[in-house]
Amino acid sequence: MDVTITPRTILLAASAIGAGIAVLTGFGTGIGQGYAAGKGAEAVGRQPEAQGDIIRTMLLGAAVAETTGIYGLVIALLLLFANPLLRLL
């Protein structure tokens, strides 16, 4: 069996590895949102009268944290399906 390693195969392999690393941003997103939700629940437990303000702030923080995961997903999809580097070869 003859295996030929070309620059294209190296680029495809590196892109797959990079996509896998980019998807790992979901771990940080999940941890951050879980931490924010826990602290928000604690804050509502201490001050139930401020529930509206606390939840509004918590949801804004969760939306900001989610953008990191979405960026990682977009980068992974670009590397796998619309890799602009393949045009250079």
Average pLDDT over residues 35-52: 93
**What pLDDT sits at residue 16?**
93
Read off the amino acid at residue 77: L
Spatial distance between the Cα atoms of 5 and 73, rounded to a whole number of angstroms: 28
Spatial distance between the Cα atoms of 10 and 7, rounded to a whole number of angstroms: 5
- Please list, in sequence order, all residues whose beta carbon lies within 8 angstroms of the beta carbon of residue 41, skipping any fewer than 6 positions away: none
**What pLDDT sits at residue 87?**
84
How would residue 14 be classed by pLDDT, with cut points 50, 70 and 90?
very high
pLDDT one-digit tens code per residue, 50-83: 999 999 999 998 888 889 899 999 999 999 999 8
**What pLDDT sits at residue 88?**
82
Residue 38, helix vs strand vs coil: helix
pLDDT one-digit tens code per residue, 17-36: 999 999 998 898 889 889 98
Domains and CATH numbers, the chain: 7-83 (1.20.20.10)
How would residue 15 be classed by pLDDT, with cut points 50, 70 and 90?
very high
Spatial distance between the Cα atoms of 61 and 32, rounded to a whole number of angstroms: 9
Spatial distance between the Cα atoms of 84 and 87, rounded to a whole number of angstroms: 6
